[in-house]
Chains A and B, each alone.
Chain A
Amino acid sequence: MRQSYIMPGFRPTLGFTLVYLGLVVLIPLSTLVFKSLSLSWDDYVHIITSNRVMASFRVSFSTSLLAALIASFFGFIIAWTFVRYHFFGKRILDALIDLPFALPTAVAGIVLATIYQPNGYIGQLLINTFGIKVAYTPTGIVIALIFISMPFVVRTVQPVLQEFDSTMEEAASTLGATKLQIFTKVIFPNVFPALLTGFSLAFARGVGEYGSVIFIAGNIPYVSEIVPLMIITKLEQYEYAGATAIALTLLVISFVLLLIINLLQLWVRKRSGQL
C-alpha cells in the first residue's frame, strides 16, 4: 500500500470519507438491519408478502418510475432551452427550477392537492374536459413526484450541455450531418450518462418521498398507499420490527435498482468512449 500520489491529502480525505460514511450512513442503516433481525424469517416474509404491503410496493415503484421518466423527458427539454437559447427572464426561470428543492415537501403536497382536487383550478378543468381525476388517485402521486424530482434532472443535465464542445457539432455539420442526425448521434450520446444520473436521482427521491405525496394520494388501501405510508402505519401500531422490515426491503430494492442504473451508466460511457 505504499503508493504515493501526486495530489497531497490522500489520507485525511479518505479518512474523512470513511468516517462520514460510517457515522452518517452506515451506522443508522445498520440499526435498521438489527431492528428487523428481531423478526424470524417467516415473520419477515409474512409481513413483506402481505397483499397490502405488496400493493404499496407496486404503487410506489410504478409511480416513481413513471414520474422519473416524465421528469427526465421534460427536464431534458428545460435544460436544453436554458443552455441553447437566450430569452428575456431566463435568469428568473432558471432560479425557479430550484424552488422545489427549498420548499418543504408538505407545502408542495398541500398546494398540489388544492389545485388538482376535483374543485380545484386545474382539477376542475381536467375532470370537466377529459374526465380525468388526478388528486386522490395514483395519477396524483405521479404529479407530486414529477414536481419534486424535476430539478434533479435539470440540474444534472444542464452543466453537461453547457460544457458540450460545439466544435463536435460543427465537425458533424461540415461532414454533412442533418440537424436531427447531429442531435441523435452527437449531442444525445454525450448527454445520456448525465440524463441517466438525473433519472436515477429522480427515481430514488420518488421512492422515498412522503410529505408531498401523502396529501394528494388519497391513501386508499390497495390503490394509492405508498410504501413510506405503510411504514408510518406500522409505527402507529407500535410494530417497530414490521416497520423496519418494510424499510429495509425498500432500501435493498432501491439500492439494487440504483446499482443497475450506475452499471448501465458505466457501460454507456465506455461504449461512447468517455472513459
Chain B
Amino acid sequence: MKFNTLIKTALFTAGLLLSQATLADRALLNVSYDPTRELYQEFNKEFIKDWKAKTGETVTIQQSHGGAGKQARAVIDGLEADVLTLAITYDIDNISRRARLLPENWQSRLPNKSIPYTSTMVFLVRKGNPKGIKDWDDLVKEGVAVITPNPKTSGGARYNYLAAWAFAEKKYGSKDAAKDFVRKLYKNVPVLDSGARGATTTFLQREIGDVLLTWENEAYLALKELGDGKVDIIVPPTSILAETPVAIVDKVVDKHGTRDLAEAYLNFLYSPTGQKLAAKHFYRPSEPKYADAADIARFPKIERFKVDDVFGGWDNVQKVHFDDEGIFDQIYAP
C-alpha cells in the first residue's frame, strides 16, 4: 500500500515535470566570456523581439559570463550551452576536440570564419598620461608598472602577450629579441591577476600601475563608467587582431531541439541589427557598413597582427608560449 503510493507520487511528479518541460518556452543558453555582458543584454532583447515578429514564438535567452577558459571548461564538463560566443578560437577548438560536442570544422559554418565582430588590445593610462606611454616599447621602461592578467588563465592576457611579442619581433627582427622584450615587460608587472576583470579592478579601484593592457571595448566601458576623467585610452600604432568566434554546440541543440533557434540567433549577429549593436558596444563589426558611422568613427586606425600569420595558429601559440615550460614559464624562471 505504502509502496504503491510512493510509485504513484513518483509518476505524478515525473508527469508534472515532463508537461512543464514541453509547455515551457524554448530557451537558449549562450555561454560567453566576461566583457560581452553589456552587448548581449541588448542583443538578446532585439533577437527575442525579431524572432517573435517572424515566428510568433516567445523564447528566452540565458546568459553565462566568466573568464573565457573557465567557460570553455564548464562546457566540456557538462554545462549545456546551445551557443558559444567566446574570446579565442582555441577554446572552441578544445570543446570540439575534447568533448566532441561540435565538429572540428565548426569555424567554416558561419561567414567570416565564424567571427561576427573582432576587437583588439589597447592601453588604459592615468589621466593626462603622466608616464608618456604611446607604444609597446614604453611598457618596458624602468619605473613603468604594467597591469595585465596571467596569460595562462586569461584569454585577454594571451592577446596582450602576443601583441607585445608581435611588436617586438617586427621591430627588433628576431625571436630572441622578442623573448627578451616580453621578459622585460613582465618584470614591470607587479600583480598577475587571474582574469581580465580582476586586472581592471586592480588598476581602477586599487589604483595600482601606470598602464592597463585591456580589451578595446573594456577600455571604452571603463571610460564611460568612470566618466569623470580619471583615465585616458591610448591606442598603440600596432596591436593584435582579437578574433572572438561564435558557434552552435551541435550535440546540445539536437538534444534540446533548438537548432533552428540557435542558428537564427548566431545569424542575427551578422544581420544589420547585430552588427550595429556590436559597434555600439565597442566591438569592431565584420560589416562596418551596417553600423552607425558615428560608432565606427570611434575606432582609431590600428595595424592588427593576425595570430595565424605571426604565430602559425593557436595550437602553435599554446605549445610554444603558454604550455608548461613554454616561453612564458621560461621568462619567469629565476
Which of the 9-residue segments A7-15, A232-240, A257-265 touches chain B? A232-240
Whether B190 and A232, one on each chain, are in contact in the complex, defined by CB atoms closer than 8 angstroms, is no
Question: How many Å lie between the Cα of A233 and that of B152 in the bound state?
Answer: 6
Whole-angstrom distance from the CB of B188 to the nearest CB of chain A? 12
Residues of B within 8 A of A119 (CB): 206-208
Question: How many Å lie between the Cα of A34 and that of B67 in the bound state?
Answer: 28
Which of the 9-residue segments B114-122, B235-243, B321-329 touches chain A? B321-329
Whole-angstrom distance from the CB of B276 to the nearest CB of chain A? 34
Whether B190 and A136, one on each chain, are in contact in the complex, defined by CB atoms closer than 8 angstroms, is yes
Question: How many Å lie between the Cα of A117 and that of B147 in the bound state?
Answer: 15
A222 CB contact (under 8 Å) in B153, B325, B333: B333
Does A50 belong to the interface (CB within 8 Å)?
yes
Whole-angstrom distance from the CB of A136 to the nearest CB of chain B? 5
Whole-angstrom distance from the CB of A158 to the nearest CB of chain B? 36
Q: How does the 8 Å CB contact mask read for B132-160 relative to A, with 1 for contact and 0 for none?
A: 00000000000000000010110000000
Knowing A51-B333, A119-B208, A222-B332, the reply to whether A236 touches B324 (Cβ < 8 A) is: no
Most buried by A among B198, B322, B332, B334: B332
Q: How does the 8 Å CB contact mask read for A238-268 relative to B, with 1 for contact and 0 for none?
A: 1100100000000000000000000000000
Whether B191 and A218, one on each chain, are in contact in the complex, defined by CB atoms closer than 8 angstroms, is yes
Question: How many Å lie between the Cα of A166 and that of B325 in the bound state?
Answer: 61
Question: How many Å lie between the Cα of A51 and that of B192 in the bound state?
Answer: 19
Does A229 belong to the interface (CB within 8 Å)?
yes
Interface of B is mostly: loop
Question: How many Å lie between the Cα of A238 and that of B323 in the bound state?
Answer: 10
Residues of B within 8 A of A236 (CB): 67, 69-70, 73, 152-153
Q: How does the 8 Å CB contact mask read for B171-204 relative to A, with 1 for contact and 0 for none?
A: 0000000000000000001111110001000000
Does A205 belong to the interface (CB within 8 Å)?
no
Whether A214 and B334, one on each chain, are in contact in the complex, defined by CB atoms closer than 8 angstroms, is no
Whether B191 and A136, one on each chain, are in contact in the complex, defined by CB atoms closer than 8 angstroms, is yes
Does A113 belong to the interface (CB within 8 Å)?
yes
Q: How does the 8 Å CB contact mask read for A213-227 relative to B, with 1 for contact and 0 for none?
A: 011001111100000
Whether A52 and B329, one on each chain, are in contact in the complex, defined by CB atoms closer than 8 angstroms, is yes
Question: How many Å lie between the Cα of A120 and that of B94 in the bound state?
Answer: 41
Count B interface residues, CB 8 Å.
Answer: 30
Does A151 belong to the interface (CB within 8 Å)?
no
Whether B94 and A238, one on each chain, are in contact in the complex, defined by CB atoms closer than 8 angstroms, is yes
Q: How does the 8 Å CB contact mask read for A107-121 relative to B, with 1 for contact and 0 for none?
A: 000000110011110
Whether A218 and B190, one on each chain, are in contact in the complex, defined by CB atoms closer than 8 angstroms, is yes
A50 CB contact (under 8 Å) in B190, B198, B206, B324: B324
Residues of A within 8 A of B49 (CB): none
Residues of B within 8 A of A235 (CB): 73
B194 CB contact (under 8 Å) in A52, A214, A237, A239: A214
B332 CB contact (under 8 Å) in A113, A221, A237: A221
Residues of B within 8 A of A118 (CB): 208
Whether B194 and A219, one on each chain, are in contact in the complex, defined by CB atoms closer than 8 angstroms, is yes
Question: How many Å lie between the Cα of A221 and that of B322 in the bound state?
Answer: 13
Given contacts A119-B207, A233-B150, A236-B67, 20 further A-B contacts (CB under 8 A): A52-B329, A113-B206, A136-B191, A214-B194, A218-B191, A218-B192, A219-B194, A220-B189, A220-B332, A221-B192, A221-B329, A222-B332, A222-B333, A229-B194, A232-B194, A236-B73, A236-B152, A236-B153, A237-B324, A238-B94
Residues of B within 8 A of A (CB): 67, 69-70, 73, 76, 94, 98, 150, 152-153, 189-194, 198, 205-208, 318, 322-325, 329, 332-334
A–B pairs, 29, beta carbons within 8 Å: A47-B324, A50-B325, A51-B333, A52-B329, A113-B206, A118-B208, A119-B207, A119-B208, A214-B194, A218-B191, A218-B192, A219-B150, A219-B191, A219-B193, A219-B194, A220-B189, A220-B192, A221-B329, A221-B332, A229-B194, A232-B194, A233-B150, A235-B73, A237-B152, A237-B322, A238-B73, A238-B94, A239-B324, A242-B324
Pairs of residues from A and B, 4 with the lowest C-beta to C-beta distance, nearest first: A221-B332, A236-B69, A219-B192, A236-B153
